[in-house]
Amino acid sequence: MKFNWVFSGDDNPAMQRTCIDLEYSLRPRIMRFLLSKLDVDADFSSFHFDVNVDKKWVSISENTPQEYIQKILPDFNQAINGSSFYSVA
């Protein structure tokens, strides 16, 4: 699983820390979601997510294989973005 961090401004130590904290909280949440939708044998390293820190939104990157996008897209936004973005932190 890979995260692409999207934010405006400088990549300063405070922003780096924010991204690290978010990754530590988003990774298990997204992994639980993926496990609930896919077989355990899925290649989880194929998943790419764009995390817009400014807009407080996680989306599935187009770098994720289309077959996986089709399986997870219908429920992804509600499961991952449905509650407060920072509530995962």
pLDDT of residue 58: 96
The encoded tokens of residue 32 equal 């639980």
Looking from the CA of 16 toward its CB, the CA atoms found within 13 Å total 4
pLDDT band (50, 70, 90) for residue 89: very low
Task: Find out whether 31 and 44 touch, Cβ atoms under 8 Å.
Answer: yes
**pLDDT 10s digits, 20-74:** 999 999 999 999 999 999 988 889 999 999 999 988 899 999 999 999 999 999 9
Task: Find out whether 49 and 29 touch, Cβ atoms under 8 Å.
Answer: no
The number of residues making up the chain comes to 89
Angle subtended by helix axes 66-76 and 13-37, to nearest 10: 100
Rounded Cα gap, residues 21 and 53, in angstroms: 12
SS3 60: strand
pLDDT of residue 83: 62
If one counts the domains in the chain, the total is: 1
Residue 11 has pLDDT above 90, yes or no: no
> By CB neighbour count within 10 A (0-12 exposed, 13-18 middle, 19+ buried), where does 51 fall?
buried
| Structural domain for 48, as ranges | 2-88
